[in-house]
Amino acid sequence: MKYWVNGQYLGEFLTPEEPWMQTAGYLDIAAQEGTVWFDDVCINTTGSIPTLSEWGAIIFGTLLLASVAFYIWRRRRVAVA
């Protein structure tokens, strides 16, 4: 996380990514004590890269759909001829 106050960069806080961070449903910005105003909050996230098994499922599904489409196309072609 990088921190700016009134447009001035104050530094950053690094923490290792944990599994729950990928499934968090909300973000809570809070202060330890006192009154704090948050303005112009920007949250930048990057999409997760599919795992090897997810890529395998994607490729298998694509090949399965292509083979079914080819089979249907071939049956229609034979039926017309």
pLDDT 10s digits, 55-73: 999 999 999 999 999 999 9
Residue 41 contacts residue 29 (beta carbons within 8 Å): yes
Helix (H) or strand (E) holding 12: strand 8-12
Phi, psi of 75 (to 5 degrees): -65, -40
Q: Would the pLDDT of 21 be above 90?
A: no
Q: CA-CA distance, 64 to 59, in Å (whole number)? A: 8
For residue 28, what are the domain limits?
A: 2-80
CA 43, chain centre distance (Å): 14
pLDDT at 3: 77
Does the pTM surpass 0.75? The reply is no
How confident is the model over 27-46, as a mean pLDDT?
75
pLDDT at 44: 64
Q: Would the pLDDT of 6 be above 80?
A: no
Tell me how many domains the chain contains. Answer: 1
pLDDT at 56: 92
Which residues, 6+ apart, have CB-to-CB distance to 74 below 8 Å?
Answer: none
Can you give the length of the chain in residues?
81
